[in-house]
Amino acid sequence: MALVLVIDDSIDNASLVRAILNNAGHEVVVALNGVDGFHQITALKPDVIILDLRLPGSEMDGWQLIQAVRGEPALHNIPIIVTSVEVMPEDRERAFNAGCNAFLSKPYSIRDLAQRIIEYTS
């Protein structure tokens, strides 16, 4: 299946997503901040990134991480699925303009997330 990188500052959220995706046969790596997330992206070149936009206390938030990934030729084609509590239409538009491939509002359906992963890895 797919190598999925989950970047979320909530260990509970990240662990839940990892457990569910592992059960679906995916290999999942977790990063709890943007800097570690970017290091994992460059080292692993995952098939899909699941990214929380809010990464408080991190030197790199989700917006900056999207820019960094899209700015690297070796990484810019990796699909990014944004997850966020930011649910206003302008937040979605900003995320797509920044370079994300999908936007899931929290709380989101695991079925929707799994479907997106299948779409981007098939």
> 64-118, pLDDT tens digit by residue?
999 999 999 999 999 999 998 877 888 889 899 999 999 998 888 888 998 999 9
CA atoms within 13 A on the CB side of 98: 23
Please check the confidence at residue 29 and state whether its pLDDT lies above 80: yes
pLDDT (0 to 100) of residue 110: 86
What does the pLDDT average to over 23-41? 96
Q: What is d(CA 111, CA 68) in angstroms, rounded to the nearest whole number?
A: 29
3-state secondary structure (DSSP) of residue 17: helix
Q: What is d(CA 17, CA 119) in angstroms, rounded to the nearest whole number?
A: 18
Q: Where are the domains of the chain?
A: 3-121
Q: What is d(CA 69, CA 7) in angstroms, rounded to the nearest whole number?
A: 13
In terms of pTM, does the model score above 0.85?
yes
Please check the confidence at residue 11 and state whether its pLDDT lies above 90: yes
CATH architecture of structural domain 3-121: 3-Layer(aba) Sandwich (3.40)
Kindly list the distances between the CA atom of residue 113 and the CA atoms of 67, 74, 118, 119, in Å, as whole numbers in the listed order. 22, 25, 9, 10
